[in-house]
Structure 1
Amino acid sequence: MKMISKIAKASLGLVFLGSSSVFAQSLADAKKAIDAEQYQKAESMLKTLTTTQPTKDENFFYLGWVYIKQDYSDSAKVVFNKGIAANPKSALNYAGLGAVARLDKDNAGATTNFNQAISLAAKDTKPYTYVGLSYLLPTTTDKKVAPADADAAIAVLTKGKAINAKDVDLLIALGDAYRSVLKSNEAYSNYSDASTLDPKNPAAKVATGVLYKFANNFDGSEQQFKDALAINANYGPAYREWAETDLRWSLTDPKMASAKIKEAVDHYKQYLSLTDQSVESQMRYADFLILAGDYKTLQQVATDLSKSASTNARVYRYLAYAAYENKDYSNGLTAINTWFQKADPKRIIPRDYLYQGRLQMATGQDSVGINTLKKALELDSTQTDVYGEIAKALYHQKKYEQAGDAYRQVTLKAGRNVKLTDYFYEGISYYFGYDEKKPNADSLLVRADSAFSYVNQKSPTTADGYLYRAYVNDMKEKDRNNINGYAKPFYEKYIELVTAKGAADDKTKKSLANAYAYLGTYYEYKEKDEAKATENFTKARENDPTNKQAVAFFQRKGGAGKSK
């Protein structure tokens, strides 16, 4: 019996040992799938593990992290709480709850959970790694990490590094944190240390390639991706980052644009073939297509995704963006409205309001569209091009003063994107918005004059800039019989530029007539120079026989100076 008992115990021990080995291997495989961005595969494996090993809190954490990576933070929160139920001292799952709080913009909740994670971590550096990665999760439209968040990530990851300087995942995360605040030397040092410790880790090579990409060292970047694929030919993230590098290269070097955009698409397709072709992978492809400006392909991809019963509601965002860019405005408006109806409010981004406003205006809902664009600006004031869209719409609605204010915002805030025409339309808008009965009438003329003055300085041969500046200064003349000549130098410059070009068209002739008529009035009443007054009124009448000032002058003079 004792011998049988010993054999039984030995056999039982082997069963448990085998079970533990299967679990460890399965969890390791799931983590490899996450690293390879095969989220559907990882999700399936981890769901099984949370059922077969319900006391293992790590299973729940990594399943929650998969949900985080797929933009399902509500599902992640549920799973992290299950992990804590399985182990109330699960540092990883508290790190996960902190990540969810950050995405929900609950900074206090994030801090509380992160602190709890670190207090429970002891000598385990994985919680430090995931608290750091949580700070690096993008929460803004441009997907950039705020400097304060990057600093927080660096601080916690540095503490983790002091505990274990050989944690490769932590070193890569620390490199990412430094890269996000443009500390390239520090980033490279951590990536290099990770590669030295684990030469077979493709993630460290890819991270270095991304670092080179932002330095526009595209050849060096490509080599890193090739090195990563030499380690693991099926490592999808290398192809994804290579595609995004190709895209940046195409934007930086126009000569390479065509070839690199083609390469980018090919590399991204290779990435997709190495993932699980999940809806989430297709969504990431859609994000890439937006960056690439390939809205025709985006519309096809989004249309295909919308036919799936299990699709993410975000597909309606892509349908709307693509439809607008492809001038399919009616379907675009339907899609964006569906997105607003289906989406969790916290998943709405400023760009969604931007496209909704554009689509509203494109379908004749100008006033509603303008208000929606203003909402987009309230949420993201960096979208300075929107001021121009609002200004243009207001101008077409003949709301000139408001249009002038909007163009003024363009010229003040758009930086390098400001065009000279923005200043020109700012001036015209204020000019047309002038009404002497308004209490702010004089200030509108001042703003208009300032805008046209800028046009004169930057483009001294643009005749219309002087013409409209003359019109503005002409408005300052309160009494024709007591003229000051505010507009004189600008009309003279306009005449000089136009006549130098040769024969004028009918529209320009009318403007020339106005200019000569003003000068005629100036010489008649200010200078009391009858000869010069007659000369200028004659030229006014030659350019436009119906010019009222010229007609009135010659009537007063009894037809003197009548042209032949």
Structure 2
Amino acid sequence: MKMISKISKIVLALSVVGSSAFAQSLADAKKAIDAEQYQKAKTMLKNLTTTQANKDENFFYYGWVYVLQEYPDSAKAIFQKGIAVNPKSALNYAGLGAVAVLDKDKAGASTNFNQALSLAGKDSKPYLYVGLSYLLNNVDGKVPAEDANAAIAALNKGKAVNAKDAEILIALGDAYRTQLKNTDALSSYQAALDIDPKLAHAKVATGVIWKYANNFESSETEYKAALAIDPNYGPAYREWAETDVRWAFNDPRMASAKIKEATDQYKKYLSLTDLSLDSRLRYADFLLLSGDYKTLQTEAQALSKDAANNLKVYRYLAYAAYENKDYPAGLQAMNTWITKADPKRVIPRDYLYLGRLQIASKQDSLGIASLRKAASIDTTQADVYSDIGKTLFGQKKYLEAAEAYNTYTQKSRNAKLLDHFYEGLSYYYGFQDQYFSKDKSVKADTSLLAKADSAFSYVAQKSPTTPDSYVFRARVNDYREKDRNNIVGYAKPYYEKFIEVALAKGAPADKVKKDLAEAYVYLGTYAEFKDKDMAKATDYFTKAREMDPTNKQVVTFFSKKGGAAKGK
């Protein structure tokens, strides 16, 4: 990750290109937007809205840049100026719909989109931007199915208006991609390239499909093809960098080389943009993606002097500070972000980090509430339940912890065997709390034992050489005994398996010795009272004494045995 930190020096060293170098045509402005040179595009479009103030489309594209940068208020003001120029401006009504999407105003979006399409006539561009607007709420490459379907419907209508509009086909591909309909997406991108083989955007979009399929070599081929079309097409370098990061995380053997390559590619991307505040915020996104939290914190601190212009800086300060264990700074930054930002800009991950920061700051109750809020806003945020489970377990709220762990292990792809183990522990300790409760109205729920046993059984199946799962299965099953004077031996096979696995690892550690003593005591007791085999019982208790001579049941057994011998 050290290589990534070099970018921040380059970012600080480079300056914004002067506006005098910019071409002044709408076509050039649109090209700058596609290349993610947003400051350059805004400078050109601002000029065009002055020199060609009677053209409503100039206002639309000017506002659209603000939409892409998530400045809805600025975008809205510009779109309204466009409508003032031309009350029948379909594009600017599409822009107002896009603002409503950002503001999560479904009714406003629908009204403005309907107005845009009613005015579109034979112009496919309003259909294009209605479709693209529905894709704005994109999180990690995914869009809610309802929005994606609305985008696809609008874009297909635009395609019917003009089947040769390559931008419509690319947008269709993007919409299909968010729903993992990769065959349809690839077909749309290829159709766009058939119309215009020089569309670098379509090549990059194809590379992104291969990225999410973890076919990284094919991704690189597409990015190289895009750069062969246009060597200065920045998005190709950005996507290449992000693909390299994903490659590094998926293949540890390639991690070092791919992180270095990602750094180089992102350096090229930055050199091709205008290096505005928004470009640097995108760089912060890259640092977050790559896990270089130290550089992210340094960069966010450098950006904090411009925080008044974009409060999102506080989000990066909070994320980085948490990952770097600077909890006071992180909590302050996150509280600033959440209290000052437009509530519509606050995302579930913000509450996730707020909860983690609160818990790390010993504000457990507040932290759990924040984590639950993250989950309630986005039900796909299953990973929050891991944090909730850990915190509740630490508070000895075992049944609540068990339910949190269960949700996590059932819904998250990131759940590990340790999470399943703690799920079992939580159910087990929750049962014990009921079993030993001094409140006589509390009845121990035996279904908790079944849930605990299921979790421990899963761990044992996936990791047969982990002894802890067997000893806890033994303890769980021991509670199934209804008559202690006439035991069935439900725990016996699990204690025997525990001994086998624990001793297979060589000399046991002190903690394991105590557990081995427990197992031998159980087997000895079983031999004494169930099998009526005193020799076998003595053998087991002798082994237990070797493991833990202070074990009370061991001491009692040999004291009783010694007394019996003296009596003889």
Measured against the shorter chain, the TM-score band is: 0.7 to 0.9
Kept after mapping to 1: 8 A contact 2:227/2:236 = yes
1:19 maps to none
Q: Which moved more, 1:218-227 or 1:267-276?
A: 218-227
Show the counterpart of 1:39: 38
Aligned partners of 1:554 and 1:560 also within 8 Å: no
Q: 1:27 corresponds to which residue?
A: 26
Offset from partner CA, 1:62-117 (integer Å, 9 cap, x none): 12101101111122122222222222211001111111222222223222221211
* Equivalent-residue separation in structure 2 for 1:512 and 1:273 (angstroms): 63
1:372 aligns with 2:376: no
Q: Is the 8 A contact 2:145 2:179 kept in 1?
A: yes
Query: Is the deviation greater in 87-96 or in 548-557?
Result: 548-557
Equivalence for 1:423: 420
Counterpart AA for 2:38: Y
> For 1:481, what is the secondary structure of its paired residue?
coil
User: Partners of 1:545 and 1:79 in 2: how far apart?
Assistant: 82
Whether 1:507 aligns to 2:511 is yes
Aligned to 2:4: none
Map Cα deviations across residues 273-314 of structure 1 (whole Å, 9 max, x no partner).
221111111111111221111212211221111122653100
CA distance in 2, matches of 1:229, 1:463: 55
Q: Is the 8 A contact 1:420 1:455 kept in 2?
A: yes
CA distance in structure 2 between the aligned counterparts of 1:423 and 1:382, rounded to whole angstroms: 19
> 1:396 pairs with 394, 397, 406, which one?
394
Of 149, 165, 168, the residue aligned with 1:167 is 165
Task: Supply the distance in 2 between the matched residues of 1:161 and 1:258 (Cα, whole angstroms).
Answer: 44
Partner of 2:80: 81
Structure 1 residues 220 and 523, CA gap change in structure 2 (3 angstroms): closer
- What is the alpha-carbon distance in structure 1 between the residues aligned to residue 473 and residue 297 of structure 2? 46
CA offset at residue 505 of structure 1?
4.0
**Unaligned stretches of 5+ residues in structure 1:** 1-23
Q: Corresponding residue for 2:91?
A: 92
- Using the TM superposition, give the Cα deviation of residue 263 of structure 1 relative to its aligned residue in structure 2, in angstroms: 1.9
Residue type of the alignment partner of 1:520: G
> What SS does the aligned partner of 1:47 have?
helix
The 2-side partners of 1:458 and 1:257 are apart by 27
- Distance in 2 of aligned mates of 1:473 and 1:209: 53
Q: Which moved more, 1:125-134 or 1:403-412?
A: 403-412
Residue 440 (structure 1) shift: 4.1
Q: How does 1:112-151 map to 2 (within 5 A)?
A: 112-137=111-136, 139-151=137-149
Q: What secondary structure, in the 3-state scheme, does the structure 1 residue paired with 2:489 have?
A: coil
What residue in structure 1 maps to residue 110 of structure 2?
A: 111
Which residue does the alignment assign to 1:387? 385
1:462 aligns with 2:466: yes
TM-score by length of 2: 0.87
For residues 436-455 of structure 1, the aligned pairs below 5 Å read: 436=435, 437=437, 438-455=442-459
**Is this contact kept in 2: 1:305–1:311, CA < 8 A?**
no
CA separation of 1:484/1:43 partners in 2, compared to 1, >3 Å: closer, same or farther?
same
Structure 2 contact 241–261 (Cα < 8 Å) conserved:
yes
Amino acid aligned to 1:82: K
Of residues 244, 247, 258, the one that matches 1:260 is 258
Deviation at 1:554, TM superposition (A): 4.0
Q: Cα gap change, 1:106/1:260 in structure 2, threshold over 3 Å: closer, same or farther?
A: same
Equivalent position of 2:242 in the other structure: 244
Q: Matched residue of 1:460: which SS? A: coil
Q: Is the 8 A contact 1:81 1:93 kept in 2?
A: yes
Matched residue, 2:11: none
Q: What is the alpha-carbon distance in structure 1 between the residues aligned to residue 316 and residue 307 of structure 2? A: 17
Distance 1:421 1:171, change over 3 A: closer
Distance (Å, rounded) in 2 between the aligned partners of 1:28 and 1:374: 47
1:481 pairs with 481, 485, 489, which one? 485
Shift of 1:189: 4.1
Partner of 2:6: none
CA contact (8 A) 2:244 2:261 kept: yes
Give deviations 1:318-358, integer Å, cap 9, x for gaps: 11111111222221111111111221101111111111111
> Counterparts of 1:225-240 in structure 2 under 5 Å?
225-240=223-238
Partner of 1:335: 333
Question: Aligned match of 1:314 in 293, 312, 315?
Answer: 312
Q: Name the residue aligned to 1:3.
A: none
Separation of aligned partners in 2, 1:475 and 1:216? 47
In the TM superposition, what is the alpha-carbon distance from 1:412 to its structure 2 partner?
Answer: 2.1
Q: 1:507 to 1:162 in 2, by over 3 A?
A: closer
CA drift of 1:132 comes to 1.4
Task: Determine the structure 2 residue equivalent to 1:59.
Answer: 58
> Are the counterparts in 2 of residues 538 and 561 from structure 1 also a CA contact under 8 Å?
no
Partner AA of 1:57 in structure 2: D
2-structure distance, mates of 1:541, 1:199? 80
Q: Secondary structure at the match of 1:441?
A: coil
Give the residue type in structure 1 aligned to 2:416.
K
Tell me what 1:17 maps to: none
Q: Sequence identity, in percent? A: 69
CA distance in 2, matches of 1:396, 1:253: 34
Deviation at 1:130, TM superposition (A): 0.8
Which piece of structure 1 moves more, 61-70 or 301-310? 301-310
The residue type equivalent to 2:108 in the other structure is G
Amino acid at match of 2:486: N
Could you tell me which amino acid in structure 1 is paired with residue 445 of structure 2? A
In the TM superposition, what whole-angstrom CA distance separates every residue of 1:245-272 from its partner, at most 9, and x where no partner exists? 3333334444433222222222212211
- What is the number of residues matched between the two proteins? 537
Contact 2:141 2:178 in 1 (8 A): no
Choose which of 170, 178, 181 in structure 1 pairs with 2:179: 181
Measured in 2, the distance between the counterparts of 1:156 and 1:368 equals: 43
Residue 276 (structure 2) aligns with: 278
Q: CA deviation at 1:459?
A: 3.0
Distance 1:148 1:72 in 2: 24
Q: Which amino acid aligns with 1:402?
A: E
1:405 and 2:409 correspond? no
Q: Deviations over 1:109-164 (max 9, x none)?
A: 22222121111011111111111111222x25434123333332222222222222
Quote the residue 2:16 is aligned against: none
Letter in 2 for 1:49: L
Residue 401 of structure 1 aligns to which amino acid in structure 2? L
Give the one of 335, 343, 346 matched to 1:345: 343
